[in-house]
Amino acid sequence: GAVVSQHPSRVICKSGTSVKIECRSLDFQATTMFWYRQFPKQSLMLMATSNEGSKATYEQGVEKDKFLINHASLTLSTLTVTSAHPEDSSFYICSAPGTGRYEQYFGPGTRLTVT
């Protein structure tokens, strides 16, 4: 089946620094990708929809200037957490719809810890 990868799988950074997370579709093209955030013992919350060739669509309450999304190609979307703070520590998961659009393929997630 289709595979979505994320890099890095884990990252620890200091407060005030920026962190980039990559999401790649490995054997299919994705004009749209989704970014989710999951706090411990909670559900996945959609942060934004990444669109290849155009601006990302952010969900209400998600700061565009803090969570920068770039969909550079049909197989790559990046999420940059700028000026990270401890409250940004979370599990970030991306997904991409399959070619039939009925399936969603999820990446393995990136665990961000901000100290």
Partner 1 sequence: ELKVEQNPLFLSMQEGKNYTIYCNYSTTSDRLYWYRQDPGKSLESLFVLLSNGAVKQEGRLMASLDTKARLSTLHITAAVHDLSATYFCAVDGDKIIFGKGTRLHILP
Nearest CA to 8 out of 17, 21, 19, 18 is that of 21
46 forms part of the interface with partner 1 (CB under 8 A): yes
Report how far residue 76's alpha carbon sits from residue 27's, in angstroms, rounded to the nearest whole number: 12
Binder of partner 1 out of 42, 73, 83, 99 (CB under 8 A): 42
43 forms part of the interface with partner 1 (CB under 8 A): yes
112 forms part of the interface with partner 1 (CB under 8 A): no
Q: Which of 14/43 has CB closer to partner 1? A: 43
Binder of partner 1 out of 23, 25, 33, 34 (CB under 8 A): 34
Residue type at 49 in one-letter notation: T
70 forms part of the interface with partner 1 (CB under 8 A): no
Residues binding partner 1 (CB under 8 A): 34, 41-46, 49, 93, 95, 102-109, 111
